[in-house]
Structures are given as structure tokens and as C-alpha cells.
Structure 1
Amino acid sequence: MKIATWNVNSLRARADRVESWLDRSDVDVLAIQETKCRDENFPWELFERRGYEVAHFGFSQWNGVAIASRVGLTNVERTFIGQPAFGKNGVDAVQEARALAATVGEGADALRLWSLYVPNGRALDDEHMVYKLQWLDALKDRVAEQLTADPELRIALTGDWNIAPQDEDVWDIQHFLDEGLTHVSAPERAAFHAFETAGFQDVVRPWTPGPGTYTYWDYKQLRFPKKQGMRIDFILASPALAGTVTGAWIDREERKGKGASDHAPVVVELGSEPAAGGTTAPAGT
């Protein structure tokens, strides 16, 4: 099975590119973030004519998450237990469309997949940062509880995490530190690493190591041609699922050209049996 995650930054605006990429990549399951549409104007036919079932969760022109699967799609869950709501200055707090789960695949190959659009903290002293950290902590508690109850669960946490957990995950860490920017702060990184402590593994990095391996390049200041990106899109897997990974890559080519999203798709290939030695790392690493 081939699964992928992609922040498309407006699905309707990039429908042609998503169609072309699905045909070219031949993925079985695609987790999508920033659909930026409601259910009533979601382009269902784009996926259905290619044999994908789709679940979508979106309220407005902001946020929005979806899962498209051609290997089954059941037990859809919008938001997670304990997911915080957000309201400016604590007023009129609402549950944002940032988390969607479904069971994909069949039989022994079935897995529980989350499409996640983690809140952007905006600034280190912004109330969105408090919300972001609370949101991540609540999600961690939820999936950690599930994994503790059944260590053999096959779970994939996929999406735009809005965190660069290592210094090499940004084009210039000193720039971020000097400017006091988000995504690299100690609390954000601690929140990300808490998932690893809970047992989840980044199953893409072992196959795409090294500095300069990014998933996001801002539209501003020609970040992409200057190779000034960030690695902020991840697929974290429970141990039972991580052991079946046979390959992973970042489709940097999809960031090129007119009308591209500012994020690149991230893809993981899964085998039916645990990899030799139960490792996600490619041979020789």
C-alpha cells in the first residue's frame, strides 16, 4: 500500500495539479490538508472518477482536511477526543477542521490514518501558540492511550505539523533563532518529540536524510529557487506499522511550476509483512 500526505493550500485552486499527481503517483491513500472548502463545494468527483472514496471535514475557506482512499474507507472520525477549540481572546471558541481519521485498507493491511493540520503558533507570545501546544498535547494523549491499550495497533499520523523538529529542518536555524520565529522553539519541538516518546516513529526521515531535505517553501522572497525551505510535513507511525515501511520520499518536483502548492507531497510505501529486522531505515544506513 502507498500512502501520502499533502497540504494542497486550496484544493479547488489546485484541482488540476492534484488530478495529475494522483495519476502519476498511483497512491492508494492521500491525506490532504488545507482544502479550504466546505463539504458542499468539495470536488468529490475529482477523486471518485479515479476510484477513491473520500471523507472531508471543512467549515469555510480556512483549514479543512480530507482522506481519499481506493482501498476502503470506514469508521470516519472528525476531530479527536479532547481536541481544544479556539476563539480569539477566548470568545466564541469553536472546533476547527484540523483533524480527520479513517480506517483504510482491509484485513491485516488495515490501518488507522489521521490527516492532521496542526495549528500555526503565529508568534511565540501569541495565543495561537498556547492553542497549538494544547492541541498537540491532547492529540498525543489520545493516540498514546490507544497505543498503550494495544501496542499492535497500526496508526499513521500524517500531515502538516507546522514544526521543524531538528535544526537541519530549516534553511538557516540562526535566522529563525535571531528573529524569534515559530516552528523551531523548544516548546514546539518538545511537543513533537512527545509523540516519539509515546512510541511513534518518523518513517520518512530515514529514507530522506540530511539538511536541505524540505517539504515546504514559502511563496515569499523566492524561497523555493533559493532552496530556503523547511521540513514540517511528516508521517509518524506506530511500531507495528513502522516495521512494514519499505520506502519513503518527498516529491519535490510537485513544488515546481505554475500554480504549485507551497508544500510538496510526502509518500510512504508499506509492505504486507514487517521489514527485515523491524527497521524503517533503508539498507546501508
Structure 2
Amino acid sequence: MIVATYNVNGVNGRLEVLLKWLEEAQPDVAILQELKAPDARFPVGDIERAGYGAVWHGQKSWNGVPILARGQTPLLTRKGLPGEPEDEQSRYIEAIVDGIVIGCLYLPNGNPYPGPKFGYKLRWFQRLHDYAAGLLELEVPVILAGDYNVMPTELDVYKPDRWKNDALFRIEVRDAYRKLVAQGWTDAIRELHPHETIYTFWDYFPNAFARNAGLRLDHILVSPYLAERLVEAEVDKHVRGWDHTSDHAPVRIELAEKPVKRRKR
């Protein structure tokens, strides 16, 4: 089973890129972020013609998160995180695909720091932390994937000294990510590539992609049951080089049908 996450940075404006990637990569589950479209403008017809069923949680101009499944429609279980009823931002959606709980998230950027947007980011992270702990208690296979808007370590950011006071790299945000993973989640990329410099985002600044001046913002966390089945975790970096593409690249994992043995690191 192949599960991928991809911040498309505007689903209608970059629909051609999305469909090209779906055809090439053929993920069984595609978790997307930044639709930048209300529910009514989600291109469900094009998605279905590409062979995917979908559930989505849109928002005009900003945010928006869908889950796509090849050859079936995901079973929707939740829109939005609990803990802040007045929060209207479309940043979380959850569904079941082939017995796996799939959580798609788009964590707030939080800039500028300090400020109310940074406070909202930390509150949202705490809500995710509380909810994720409950998912683990269910002892079912779970994936929490998306654009976390955090570089967990210095290995995940080009020239880290320049980012110390950015909301994507503030110590409070990195601590929140570490505490989340410490609940029992496995960061798929770091599990299989513990020491490699791997990025998932390159800004549109001139030559940022060519110089590999990037950030690792997009993460796939898997519950213990799925960690035993993890056989591959990669970034489709070449997609970032396509015309009119997103500033993010897709991240994908492959899960075996049965637990696999890996050499302990």
C-alpha cells in the first residue's frame, strides 16, 4: 500500500500538476493540503476520472484538506480537531481507508513570531497532541500526515541559524513535534533515513530548488502497528521541478501486508 502526502498549493490552479503526479505515482491514498477552494469548487469530477474517490474539507482562498483513495471513496470520520469549537479554519480531516485511520492535517504557519498567529499554532499543536494520544489508545492502525509547518531538527533545514526565530523552527514548535512523536508515533522519513538531508519544500525564490536550499515540513507519522510494516519512505523531489508546480514535493511511504524485519539503527 502506498500512502502519500502533498501540499498542492491551490488545487484548481495546479490541477494539471496534481493529475500528472497521481497518474505517475499511483498512490493508494493521497493526502493533500492547501486546497485554497471552498467545498463547492473542489474538482471532484476530475479526481474521479483519475480513478480516485475523495472526501474534503475546503475553505475559500486558504487552507483546505482532502483525502483521496484509489478505486474507492474514503469513509469520512471527522472534520476539524476538537478543543476549540470557534475555530473555523479547515485544517484537519479524517477517514478510514482499507481499515486504516487516515488523518490529514495542515498545521498553522504561525508567523510572525511573536504574535497571535504563533499562539494559535501552539494551541493547534496541543489540540493535535491531545487528539493523537486518543487515537493511539484505540490500538488501531493510524497515519497522521500532512504539512506540519515545522522542521524538527537542524538536519531538516538549510542554514538553520537563519531560522531560529521563525515560527517554523522556534524551539517551542520543535518541542511540540518531539512530544507528539514521543507518544509512540514513527516519523517515516527519519525511521528509514536517519542521517540524510531530505527536504520537502523549496521556496519560489530564484535558484532555491536548484541549490537545494529547502526545508522538511511535510511528515508522515505512523502508529506502532504500521511502523512494523514500513518498507519505504521517499520524497518525489522531481515533482518540484515541474512547470507551474507547488513549492512542496510529495512524500510517500510504502506499507507491506505483513510486518517486516529491519536492522536496528
Fold equivalence (TM over 0.5):
yes
- TM-score normalised according to structure 2 size: 0.94
Query: Could you tell me how far apart the structure 2 residues matched to 1:5 and 1:257 are?
Result: 17
Q: What's 1:103 paired with?
A: 96
Query: Could you tell me how far apart the structure 2 residues matched to 1:284 and 1:94 are?
Result: 42
1:131 aligns with 2:131: no
Report the CA distance shift for 1:195/1:224 in structure 2 as closer, same or farther (over 3 A).
Answer: same
CA contact (8 A) 2:202 2:208 kept: yes
In the TM superposition, residue 69 of structure 1 has moved relative to its aligned partner by 0.5
One-letter identity of the residue aligned with 1:96: Q
One-letter identity of the residue aligned with 2:158: W
In the TM superposition, residue 102 of structure 1 has moved relative to its aligned partner by 0.3
Report the CA distance shift for 1:202/1:71 in structure 2 as closer, same or farther (over 3 A).
Answer: farther
Q: Where in structure 2 are the equivalents of 1:169-208 lying within 5 Å?
A: 169-177=156-164, 180-208=165-193
RMSD over aligned CA atoms reads 1.6
- TM-score normalised according to structure 1 size: 0.88
Query: Could you tell me how far apart the structure 1 residues matched to 2:76 and 2:25 are?
Result: 26
One-letter identity of the residue aligned with 1:5: T
Query: Could you tell me how far apart the structure 2 residues matched to 1:71 and 1:163 are?
Result: 32
CA contact (8 A) 1:212 1:229 kept: no
In the TM superposition, residue 139 of structure 1 has moved relative to its aligned partner by 1.1
Relative to structure 2, which stretch is displaced further, 67-76 or 196-205?
67-76
Query: Could you tell me how far apart the structure 2 residues matched to 1:159 and 1:229 are?
Result: 17
CA contact (8 A) 1:9 1:261 kept: yes
For 1:158, what is the secondary structure of its paired residue?
Answer: strand
CA contact (8 A) 2:5 2:250 kept: yes
| Seq. identity, % | 33
Q: What's 1:43 paired with?
A: 43
Which of 165, 181, 189 aligns to 2:152? It is 165
One-letter identity of the residue aligned with 1:74: L
CA contact (8 A) 2:35 2:59 kept: no
Query: Could you tell me how far apart the structure 1 residues matched to 2:229 and 2:20 are?
Result: 28
Aligned residues: 264
Q: What's 1:78 paired with?
A: 79
Q: What's 2:67 paired with?
A: 67
Query: Could you tell me how far apart the structure 2 residues matched to 1:183 and 1:34 are?
Result: 17
CA contact (8 A) 1:5 1:265 kept: yes
Report the CA distance shift for 1:165/1:62 in structure 2 as closer, same or farther (over 3 A).
Answer: same
CA contact (8 A) 1:244 1:274 kept: yes
Query: Could you tell me how far apart the structure 2 residues matched to 1:125 and 1:80 are?
Result: 24
- Unaligned stretches of 5+ residues in structure 2: none
CA contact (8 A) 1:55 1:76 kept: no
Query: Could you tell me how far apart the structure 2 residues matched to 1:145 and 1:40 are?
Result: 32
One-letter identity of the residue aligned with 1:38: P
Q: Structure 1: which 4+ aligned runs deviate by more than 6 Å?
A: none
Query: Could you tell me how far apart the structure 1 residues matched to 2:180 and 2:29 are?
Result: 23
In the TM superposition, residue 75 of structure 1 has moved relative to its aligned partner by 3.2
Which of 94, 110, 113 aligns to 2:102? It is 113
In the TM superposition, residue 212 of structure 1 has moved relative to its aligned partner by 3.3
Query: Could you tell me how far apart the structure 1 residues matched to 2:126 and 2:25 are?
Result: 33
In the TM superposition, residue 211 of structure 1 has moved relative to its aligned partner by 4.8
Q: What's 1:16 paired with?
A: 16
Query: Could you tell me how far apart the structure 2 residues matched to 1:142 and 1:195 are?
Result: 10
Report the CA distance shift for 1:206/1:143 in structure 2 as closer, same or farther (over 3 A).
Answer: closer
CA contact (8 A) 1:29 1:71 kept: no
Query: Could you tell me how far apart the structure 2 residues matched to 1:115 and 1:284 are?
Result: 29
Query: Could you tell me how far apart the structure 2 residues matched to 1:53 and 1:112 are?
Result: 16
CA contact (8 A) 1:163 1:184 kept: yes
**1:36-83 residue CA offsets vs partner (Å, 9 max, x unmatched):** 11111111122211221101101201110000002541133111222x
Query: Could you tell me how far apart the structure 2 residues matched to 1:133 and 1:65 are?
Result: 20
